Amino acid sequence: MAEQSVHAIVLRRRDQGESDRRLTLLCREQGKLEAIARGSRKSGSRLAGISEPLCEANLHLSSGPRRAYVTQAVPLQSFRELRTDYERLTFGLALAEIVEAIAVSEQGAAELFDLFKLSLTYLSLHENPGTCFLWSALQLMDHEGRQPSWNRCVETGVAVAENPAWVSPMVGGYLSAGAHRDAPDRFQVRAEVLLGLAALTPLERPPAKMKFLAESIRLVYDFWVEYAHKPLPATVAVLQSLNLVS
């Protein structure tokens, strides 16, 4: 069996068998990876702590022909502030869900790993976790080269002039009057939301607060669903916490 050591953050866990957990990991060296933590659901298991979502650890893996197993673990941090605050935890799990959707298996992910870890650190300490979540979601878009054109028309390059303004996740952002009328998913939002997202994207850290925060998160969610090509239930939980969906 091949063996390797990885620096990882747990993105997701699922129960398997009577006492094991299947972990989805973001590894700095290997990208997205699935591994089994044997016996981690047993009381007193040395792998119990590191098999929780959003835990960072150095892991030693033993890989067989079909799957990898966690054989040793050195915990690094658990982002404790997220686990004692339901709102922060909800945002953290939504970010993990987005990262899982974009991470690639068997491909180095140093930049994505560092960005995700930085986002969790800000989310743990920032006075406004919603603003931090929105900033992080935009940074992940930028990392993937999928940043929408928030304040200039995707087709014409014209700056936002209408209020409300049309946007389309499928087309990639703001649509000026008369542009791409056949976009089946287009809908209207406040122009201030688009301008705010355009201003937030280049910032190197989350600002203290954000106007129209809930509307901005709702809009960014629509774009992430388009990019991920699958449902994002943890992010829906964020929308539910903001009373944006029932």
pLDDT per residue rounded down to tens, the chain (246 residues): 578 899 999 999 999 989 999 999 999 998 999 999 999 999 889 999 999 999 999 999 998 667 899 999 999 999 999 999 999 999 999 999 999 999 988 788 999 999 999 999 999 999 999 999 999 999 999 999 999 999 999 999 999 999 999 999 999 999 998 887 889 999 999 999 999 999 999 999 999 999 999 999 999 999 999 999 889 999 999 999 888 775
Phi, psi (deg, nearest 5) at residue 81: -60, -30
Q: Which residues contact 56 (CB under 8 A, 6 or more apart)?
A: 7, 8, 9, 75, 76, 77, 78, 79, 117
DSSP three-state, residue 190 = coil
Token code pair at residue 196: 């705010």
Does residue 69 contact residue 17 with C-beta atoms inside 8 Å? Answer: no
219 Cα distance to chain centroid: 15
Q: What share of the chain is helix, strand, coil (3-state, %, to 5)?
A: 35, 25, 40
Task: Give the pLDDT of residue 201.
Answer: 95
Task: Give the pLDDT of residue 236.
Answer: 94
Residue type, 218: R
Task: Give the pLDDT of residue 67.
Answer: 84
